[in-house]
Structure 1
Amino acid sequence: MSVSVPLKVNNVIEGVARFTVSLNAIDTTIFKIALGLILAGIFILLITISISLRFAESLTQPLRELKEFANELAHGNYNIKLKNNKIRNDEIGDLAQTFEHMAGEIDKTRRLKEEFISSISHELRTPLTSIKGWSETLGYENISKDELDLGLGIIQDETERLIKLVEELLDFSRLSSDRIRLQIDMVDIEALTKGVVNQLKVKAIENNINLSASFEVQEIINIQGDKNRLRQVLINLVQNAIKFTPPDGYIEIIVSQNEEFTTIKVKDTGSGIKEENLEKVLEKFFQEDFHKSGSGLGLAISNEIVKLHGGKINIESKKDVGTTITFTLKNKILESI
């Protein structure tokens, strides 16, 4: 590189001063810097690509796991578990846990339905077998009066049992499709309670169980509600108590009331419910003991009916000590609809 400066004398150029220097060293330095920047850029690009691939793998691997999991669910395998070491604690991890929880709930519901179908099949077969057997027996010519009365009584009892089972299945169908509607009227809770006690007292006496009702306030005012549905709830709770209460036990219906709510307790000295099952007994199909008769729908249906009346059911129980089921009802349901 050269730099030239004119030499002037009396404003006349007499010559030129020139300074020349070699740029080889500068070119070498610039080349080294450029090469270094290029190499650094390539290195940074490789690191970026590597990080991107690892990040993409961290996203795609859980998604592939979820895809395989979903495919297994689609083929009916609800016992599959996710490989938790491949699932991170992030949004995808939350989605994976939701998938696993969903599979567990589906599997639980499937098993409950299978047990329910098995129980219902047994519940249908037993009374039908009795009805068929006794109807054939009653056709004999030499049957005695006592045998005739016994057979007709058994046929009547088993028929009522079948009717109750069919009604529960119909109510379950209506609840599932949200088609239960209340026929609101004024309900005399005191008369309804005494009527249920009188209706089921014979059954309680047959099992050597003391069934009674008490009222904690002197005057129980009429409330708004569906009389038939409320009777259904109370009958269902008392029948359950009779079923699980041993001889020499007692069942007491306790009614109390304030300005806003009416509270009814059904207290028994029955076999009780295990603590881990207290939250499950109101679920559809659930039965703590599938060897006992029943569809597993009664409490679930009762719970929905009580909810429609603006109330709730609470269960307190201790195994081999007894159970207290309390349900509340709004006195003026039409004002809350």
Structure 2
Amino acid sequence: MSYRMPAEWEPHSGTWMAWPSNGYTLGDSEADAQAARSTWAKVANTIVDFEPVWMCVNPGDETIARAFLDPRVQIFEMPLNDAWMRDIGPTFVKDSFGHLVTVNWIFNGWGAQGWAKWNFDELVAEKIGELSKTAVQDSWLVNEGGGIHVNGAGVVLLTETVQLGQGRNSSSSKAEVEAEIHQKLGTSKAIWLKRGLHRDYDEFGTRGHVDIVACFASEDTILYHDQQDPSHPDFEVSREVYETLTAAGDFKLVAVPAPKKLTDDEGFVDYSYINHYIVNGAVILCAFDDQNDEVAKKIMEQVYPQREIILVPAIELFARGGGIHCITQQQPK
């Protein structure tokens, strides 16, 4: 049986999300919790104008979630450790008959990081497979949805510090990892970036997810994060990524400038417009109350001319370690 992961811009049946209920995603104070819930809800309530949204909610939090969510968002009770559905949820592919299949990667808290708990999250993909009535195919690979990006035509973007990193698959060879990725996603070519953005290696980082650095916008177009300020450590990362992508083949490369804001209270930020989410008829784009928000929107309007580009505030997401793409997971039609 062969498989293919549809590109994100192909039609969706809907979007899966997870409600923030625990730990650092919810925060230490009521104000933190209010900010988290409002931000997650704003993303869900924007998407539901374009396609169904299915929100997984920790038992006991349904009433709180319903108070924030549009009535059209459907709630499913499910024990959760975290709220990054891109990573804890399934990767949907299609088999050679066109049937949806749920790929169940091994999830271990982004490489068994000391602060992470995943006793509930490691079961989420399989449970969503049951809810979506799709066959579940297990993988031996430690991997997350934010660590891959496909063009739907045989090419996948990966990062060496993720798939080959300590705590994930460091005992496997690059060839072995590639073979498993290709078998599960139906790809045949892997473009390996050496690393992700600087902030992503902090305490609550993913150690280099690709979906904040580069992504496909069509079969032959790649958007990449362009940090233009030499004082930011991602200035060198952006140049390195550009060189890697240039050497990878005949792709149209589109630079998307990073926000002008360089730091927050914790140090250099990894604010990125690459971490957007494509839905039916629209693109949900991270906004940072930054002068480059409109610059990024105009670029996206050129890249996705048939879709409405909607800016949604994302600073509270990035403060917790991710963005809009990180909290969503598409189910293809």
Q: TM-score, normalised by structure 2?
A: 0.20
Q: Which has the higher contact order (CA 8 A, sep 6+)?
A: 2
Q: Structure 1 or 2: larger strand share? A: 2
**Greater helix content:** 1
